[in-house]
Amino acid sequence: MNETDLAFTPALELAKLIRRRELSPLELVEIYLNRIQQLNPKLGSYFTVTADLAIADATAKTELITQTSELPPFFGVPISIKDLNPVAGVPCTYGSPALLNNIPEFDDGVVSRIKQAGFIILGKTATSELGSFPYTEPTGFPPARNPWNLEYTPGGSSGGAAAAVAAGLCAIAQGSDGGGSIRGPAACCGLVGIKPSRGRVSKAPVGERLAGIAVNGPIARTVADAAAMLDTISGYVTGDPYWLPDPEPSFLTAATTQPKNLRVAFTTGIAPLGEADATCKQAVLQTVKLLEQLGHQVAEMSLDLSALVEPFQIVWQSGITASGLPAEILQPLNRWLLAQTGSVSEYIQAIYAMQIVARQIVALFNNIDVLVLPVYLHSPIRVGEWAALSPEDTFQQIVNWIAPCPPANATGQPAIAIPVGFDSHGLPMSVQLLGKPAAEATLISLAAQLEAANPWIQHRPNLAT
């Protein structure tokens, strides 16, 4: 394989090449760093590239591989970390230029597990300010762009992570999802994105906030890569407010196991916010047809989230207040959201209301195994498309766009975004699979079955390297 082929090789395959000593961690890191140097200026995928740290780590791992065969699963594989998650000694900006000199002294819990799995960190990927927006255009940084068409967004808030994976600027990425921030960028960039169940991935060492709606998870080129990374980052840490038992068998095993015939429901609209556009609807209907051909029982259903929109908004926007950043340094939309923040009583009432709706949504799964729905209600927006709108109008556009994503955050259920094709602008099309609580294995098995029936790994964006 040439260097470009290696850059787009699945992470698990790279790990095998390293174990067989057909490729060294140092060689691989240098390939990715060269691509970052060439392509990041046009993509805006990374805020910070930790080249010296990555080369030092790769050099040590290249030496270590000659001394032992006892290696962790992703030994020597390059990864990126979203710039909402602290890495000791590396700037963590949370998408704000005011925090360029914020250097954490500790690793986030998910980062610790990533290091333990043998990954090599290449840098911190771009995020929207405080992770608030489903596009990645924070003030003071270049906008993140979609590798498939640079005029369009790669989504957000894990937009830099998804763009980096799609462009071959890392083998796999860590993202986080508080309202679609893994699934949306994965969909925009033609990748697999898993939003795990609540309690699957620890939020250590910090405490929980946002009523448990936000989780960390993988963004990858293949279902197997995403499943294997989820295996490595999952697990209880002492003091976690909620947790799930380790999966038996592993999520990677689920990716190689045929699912049983499942009861699958689907919808192409979210009341009261409307129907998906023609492209997103086509993605769902195309997937439904394939599921039927694979032997699953499929039926249409409706999903009314009228009672969820307001309480979820109140809980979600509380993260801006919790950041502690003063209003004057925030972007206009975050400043406006901060001004909308109500009392503690209103916040608690919103949690209660959200939990009531969440129970109703979970109850739908008494009769189904999986719900297929769009990731977003319309195709990706252009970079800067909403820049001239008022904060109020921008927020309404966001709510209408991401409507299919918040239900899984409210309920804590697992969800996975997978590619299904391309639209007329050359942008990826995607669907979302929503599963029963703690049933990531079912979603992973089904996603792998769909991946085998409709492969996407052979597709690459047309970039100049």
pLDDT single digits (tens) 234-276 = 999 999 999 999 999 999 999 999 999 999 999 999 999 999 9
Reply yes or no on whether the pLDDT at 465 is more than 60.
Answer: no
* Local structure of 263: helix, strand or coil: strand
**Is residue 82 annotated as a catalytic residue, yes or no?**
yes
Q: What is the pLDDT of residue 97?
A: 96
Band of the pLDDT at 449, cuts 50, 70, 90?
very high
Q: What is the pLDDT of residue 209?
A: 74
Average pLDDT in the 96-115 region? 97
- Strand pairing partners for 344? none
CB 178 within 8 Å of CB 319 = yes
pLDDT single digits (tens) 61-105 = 999 998 988 999 999 999 999 999 999 999 999 999 999 999 999
Which of 403, 458, 322, 392 shows the shortest CA–CA distance to 134? 403
Task: Output phi, psi for 168, to 5 deg.
Answer: 75, 35
pTM higher than the cut 0.95: yes
Task: Output phi, psi for 232, to 5 deg.
Answer: -75, -30
Task: Output phi, psi for 432, to 5 deg.
Answer: -120, 135
**Is residue 390 annotated as a catalytic residue, yes or no?**
no
**Active-site residue, selected from the candidate residues 45, 112, 128, 157:** 157
**Is residue 96 annotated as a catalytic residue, yes or no?**
no
**Active-site residue, selected from the candidate residues 61, 82, 195, 436:** 82
**Among residues of the chain, what percentage have pLDDT more than 70?**
100
Task: Compute CA distances 455 → 441, 448, 452, 459, whole Å.
Answer: 20, 10, 5, 9
**Active-site residue, selected from the candidate residues 132, 181, 250, 445:** 181
Q: What is the pLDDT of residue 289?
A: 98
Average pLDDT of the residues of the chain: 97
Q: What is the pLDDT of residue 238?
A: 94
Reply yes or no on whether the pLDDT at 392 is more than 80.
Answer: yes
pLDDT single digits (tens) 322-381 = 999 999 999 999 999 999 988 999 999 999 999 999 999 999 999 999 999 999 999 999
**Which amino acid, one-letter code, is at 328?**
E
